[in-house]
Structure 1
Amino acid sequence: MAAALRALAAIPFMVNWFDEIWQYLEPAWHLVAGPWVQTWDYRAGLRSWLIPELLAGPMALGHALAPDTTLHLLLVRLTLAALSLVIVGAAVALGLRLSRLHGILAGFVAATWFELVYFAPRALSEPIGLALLMGAIWLLLARRKPGPRQFAVAGLLMGLCFVARIQYAPALLTLAIFTAKKDWRGAWLPLVAGGCGALAIDALANLAMGAVPFRWMIEAARVNILEGRAQAYGTLPLIGYFQLIAWYWVVAITPILLLAWIGAKRYPALLWIALVHLAAHSLIGHKEYRFVLASTALLVILAAIGSAELLRRVPRRRLALATAGTLALWGGTSVALAAGHFRPNWTMEAGLADALDRAGRPPRTCGLALYRPRDTVAGSYALFRRAAPIYVIASPADAARHAGAFDVVVSPREHAGELPSAYARERCSNPGSTQAPGCVLRRTGSCTPDPAAQTLQSWLEASGN
């Protein structure tokens, strides 16, 4: 059931957070096919190449099998969806350590909870890091007495989680303290050794790209903390994450938190990990809901375990019916919340993704123009799939002056009529929340590269994006 839901979530491609493209899919496409859009964070050297290198495998396979389709993106998303099943497996294992009933409840909720399904196929550091964190939790908390081998493997997973998203460090340290305790030789030593192994893997991945190992960590801290670059993307108050969780969980937040408190009596370490992760991110001004995915996931899993704790008080003759009702209630809550305030996320900027895909479908496409893209970075070679130049055109005069350089245009609907009459409209998608362009217009004929036309890369560099 978990695999089926995640596969369904992986099929439609939408652009909820542009980081999914610019930080991971676009550099992975660069490794597979060559041309790419290089945003400021890669130019500044504050991104590790490890995740793009890993995603390049399924992307290369999809591109080799069907180069004129988006199979390369689908295989990446299915791979990430498969990785997310670790979260479900860990939840089941944590429950089964207590009883079969706990395993059923925890597994069902982890398999069907709308946020875990939604984020599963996303090429983002948060769900990738969560899967690695839950793998370590599986090894260290779902076993009654993990040995040095389990600590070593868990250390490797925790190190990879840190590399995927260094902001997980407080949560990882909390897990280590609760599980290793004072066992320096049998726990801390293999844990640290495994973590060093993960750092070595990251160092080799960056050396392969000609980057200085670990420089990206230093630059990320310098640019985002000392220079405050992240603050430019918006800030929220200290209680911002509680407000976001309450917005998406609505009235369900109270019973979930109460049930999580009950479940935490069985696994106090999970509650502490969730709270430490939430507190650490709350101290940072720039807040996005996905940043605390680990906290919301652990709270929901704890709430599922708390549900099982309450069901144990039900008389045995009524237990089957009560369990079925509880599962139905959890499933119904997930569906209701997915269709509530969270609903726009399921189709966020699907029109932009479709427009770029459609623009690159003809094999002979020779040039793409992004017409009036506003402040949204709307072009992507991973979606366009052609080695042709991508230009940014800002006005009708520029469109007429440089029309020979491109044969396809992606434009906002309201400005599509400003383009030269040679460009016929193929399709227009409804604008999304960021108003990214979604109309595709095309002309017949070839292209002549125009050095006077502004490319997307030069436009990004000029605007500091």
Structure 2
Amino acid sequence: MSVPAPQPLSTPSPPPPALQAIEEAAPSGQPLSRAAWVLMAVVALVPAVTAVAQLGRIHPDEVYQVLEPAWHRVHGYGVLAWEWRDGLRNWAVPLVVSWLLRLANLLGLSHPQAYRALIALPQAALHGWMLLATYRFAARRAGVAGGLLAALLVGLYGPVLVFAGRTMSESFSAAFLVVGLEALDRQERLERSGLLGGLALGLSVVARYGSAVFVAAALVWLVLARRWRMLAFTCLGGLAVVLGLGALDWATWGSPFHSFFAYLRFNVLTDGVVQQFGASPAGFYVPVLFSALPVWFWLTVPSGLAEGLRRRAVSLPLFCAGVYLAAVSATPHKEERFLYPALVLLLLGAAPAVGGWLMHASRAVRIRWGGVTLALASTVASAAHYPPGDLRADQFRAIVASTRDERASGLLIVNEGLWGAGGFFFIGKNIPWLTCDWPQDWAFQRAIHDPAFNRAVSFEGRALPELQAAGFRVVGQVGRETMLARD
């Protein structure tokens, strides 16, 4: 979306000192001012700090597709989900996390929250890189101040605050997509930009195979734009990632691209995913889009469509997001989290128009900063319309607290299933643990009759009388979770 020619609404007035310092910074491709760097760094750290402080999970995949396989890789024990038995996942991200866990062991970090914080550092750096790419993309269209505001609109977007600090494949993939598409948008140093774009887009697919749709759309966009040199070097950069993925699968699964082909068979070539997880109607994502996208995004749609028709072109992020939305809407199995990368790209495509208009349409301080405040407020508030569900954050913190005692030899978690719990990663030691819903469940009866199970966590007081009758006593409370112990 392009920025309309600014029309002053009042007599120009000098910008505030903070804005003046930003506007005097170097343009896109050159260093930002120190104040802008600090601001972007703070915004980039918010999701990671929130995730580490909260713990919990927004989806079981956060634990059982990244953290738990990495823990198993390092310690030789852990819960491996069915994908890791059937080979539907590649080991790239869990391997990186496993190296960080080994580093944590060398540093003496034994508390789950401590080594979870160590894992968050490179992800926070990746998120910062994404925001910097957002700034560069927007600054080419809206100037330095408009680019910085666009980066803030993306960085403070509700779903980004929820997802960006989480160890989800969508979180990693979305960041690489933004970096890659920004590189392909450049008009200078085509060889270097193409290689970077290809590498980043390739890594987005390694992190999440479903993002291959975005990459295919980006390549089609380059063909339609007749950017042949950029296309060639993009393919070259992507080829390096493809070869690396083939070698990784060969080393870990026994054959090149084993995980990718297994993914295709389960999700595309057969109805395995529908049989296991069900199907949803084609319009499943429509209400999610209308509720999750901030108000200012919809205000840019008319002008963006008009500009696209006039120029007979659409911006790269919006094109990729549109193709992806069509693809996932046609796919039978649907989940809200699948939309996250598309939501980020939609904001990346629209934010420059808003940033440019607010920074240049008027020098009237009240109008400008009133608009900025409303835009940022609607951006942050969008988290309320994109709920991650029950984070079970208090449960995870209760599990961590219950198992820190050296005398803890077994753990029972009441009113939670296996895939909702935190796994050995958050227990932090090789002790037996079970989950159950009701006192009559087999797991509950097994635990209360086995003296090794001397720690318990109960969600919302479920089965407290039965636990106390079995010798457990209440030792603490974490939010909705009750911690119990017995000698």
Contact 2:249 2:258 in 1 (8 A): no
2:10 — aligned with what? none
Does residue 8 of structure 1 match 2:52? Answer: no
- How far apart, CA to CA, are the structure 1 residues paired with 2:159 and 2:435? 35
Contact 2:92 2:248 in 1 (8 A): yes
- Aligned pair in 2 of structure 1 residues 183, 327: CA closer, same or farther (>3 Å)? closer
- Aligned pair in 2 of structure 1 residues 254, 153: CA closer, same or farther (>3 Å)? closer
SS in 2 for 1:441: strand
2:471 — aligned with what? 422
2:344 — aligned with what? 297
CA offset at residue 299 of structure 1? 1.9
Which of 333, 336, 361 lines up with 1:314 in the alignment? 361
SS in 2 for 1:425: strand
SS in 1 for 2:57: coil
- How far apart, CA to CA, are the structure 2 residues paired with 1:426 and 1:208? 47
Contact 1:203 1:214 in 2 (8 A): yes
2:290 — aligned with what? 246
1:337 — aligned with what? 382
* TM-score normalised according to structure 1 size: 0.83
1:116 — aligned with what? 160
CA offset at residue 73 of structure 1? 1.1
Contact 2:89 2:263 in 1 (8 A): yes
1:27 — aligned with what? 69
Q: In terms of mean alpha carbon deviation, does 101-110 or 304-313 score higher?
A: 304-313
Report percent identity of matched pairs.
Answer: 25
- How far apart, CA to CA, are the structure 2 residues paired with 1:235 and 1:252? 32
Does residue 67 of structure 1 match 2:110? Answer: yes
Does residue 366 of structure 1 match 2:372? Answer: no
Contact 2:63 2:422 in 1 (8 A): no
Q: What one-letter code is carried by the residue in structure 2 that aligns with 1:332? A: A
Q: What one-letter code is carried by the residue in structure 1 that aligns with 2:472? A: Y
CA offset at residue 80 of structure 1? 1.4
Q: What one-letter code is carried by the residue in structure 2 that aligns with 1:239? A: G
- Aligned pair in 2 of structure 1 residues 270, 373: CA closer, same or farther (>3 Å)? closer
CA offset at residue 67 of structure 1? 0.5
Superposition map of 1:400-439 within 5 A: 400-401=448-449, 403-412=450-459, 413-419=461-467, 420-429=469-478, 438-439=481-482
Does residue 164 of structure 1 match 2:207? Answer: yes
- Aligned pair in 2 of structure 1 residues 78, 30: CA closer, same or farther (>3 Å)? same
SS in 2 for 1:404: coil
Q: What one-letter code is carried by the residue in structure 1 that aligns with 2:73? A: L
- Aligned pair in 2 of structure 1 residues 399, 119: CA closer, same or farther (>3 Å)? closer
1:327 — aligned with what? 372
SS in 1 for 2:462: helix
Residues 359-417 of structure 1, C-alpha deviations (whole Å, 9 max, x = no match): 3211342222344645754350011111122345634543343x223222234422232
- How far apart, CA to CA, are the structure 2 residues paired with 1:247 and 1:368? 40
Does residue 49 of structure 1 match 2:91? Answer: yes
Unaligned runs of 5+ in 1: 432-437, 445-465
Contact 1:409 1:441 in 2 (8 A): yes
Q: What one-letter code is carried by the residue in structure 2 that aligns with 1:24? A: V
Q: What one-letter code is carried by the residue in structure 2 that aligns with 1:406? A: F
- Aligned pair in 2 of structure 1 residues 426, 174: CA closer, same or farther (>3 Å)? same
Residues 14-36 of structure 1, C-alpha deviations (whole Å, 9 max, x = no match): 21101100101111112233311
2:264 — aligned with what? 221
SS in 1 for 2:457: strand
Contact 1:257 1:299 in 2 (8 A): no
Unaligned runs of 5+ in 2: 1-38
Q: What one-letter code is carried by the residue in structure 2 that aligns with 1:328? A: T
1:88 — aligned with what? 131
- Aligned pair in 2 of structure 1 residues 69, 218: CA closer, same or farther (>3 Å)? closer
Which of 173, 193, 208 lines up with 1:150 in the alignment? 193
- How far apart, CA to CA, are the structure 2 residues paired with 1:323 and 1:58? 45
CA offset at residue 224 of structure 1? 2.8
Q: What one-letter code is carried by the residue in structure 2 that aligns with 1:104? A: L
CA offset at residue 258 of structure 1? 4.3
Contact 1:51 1:164 in 2 (8 A): yes
Which of 121, 127, 132 lines up with 2:176 in the alignment? 132
Q: CA RMSD in A?
A: 2.8
2:21 — aligned with what? none
- How far apart, CA to CA, are the structure 2 residues paired with 1:351 and 1:263? 48
CA offset at residue 130 of structure 1? 1.1
2:237 — aligned with what? 194
- Aligned pair in 2 of structure 1 residues 66, 230: CA closer, same or farther (>3 Å)? farther
